[in-house]
Amino acid sequence: MQHLKELAEIVTANKVKKIEVIGNLKDKGTKLQRLYDAIRTGEVDSDEAAFALLYGEGDNKGAYHKLKHTLKDRLINTLFFIDTKANKYSDIQQTYFQCTKEVIAIEILAMRGGGRNHQLD
């Protein structure tokens, strides 16, 4: 119980205001979602093609680079919500994913001032 109490205190103290993942309904129709869909489907395979799709003949390279950075951040955030218990992953892969998530959780807890015994049971 002590571990759960400690986790709850740390999560409460460091609340996530919003979790930015790819595929939120609010992203539908945005350049971010269009870029993601175009990359995922193979519609674009280069920065030049993606820029032309999203900005046409414009000269908005800064906005495009910011959009790419945002997409990268969202994709990385989304990785943590992938269902690793799906049948497509072997038992070894599922165990590896679970252990890795727990190691990362322990590191975050340690950085956020968690106790000395960071066993997640």
Q: Each residue of 48-96: pLDDT tens digit?
A: 999 999 999 878 899 999 999 999 998 988 888 877 777 788 889 889 9
**Cα–Cα separations (whole angstroms), residue 32 to 26, 51, 63:** 11, 12, 11
pTM listed for this prediction: 0.71
Name the packing angle between helices 47-55 and 61-79 (round to 10°).
110
Domain residue spans in the chain? 1-15+84-121, 22-80
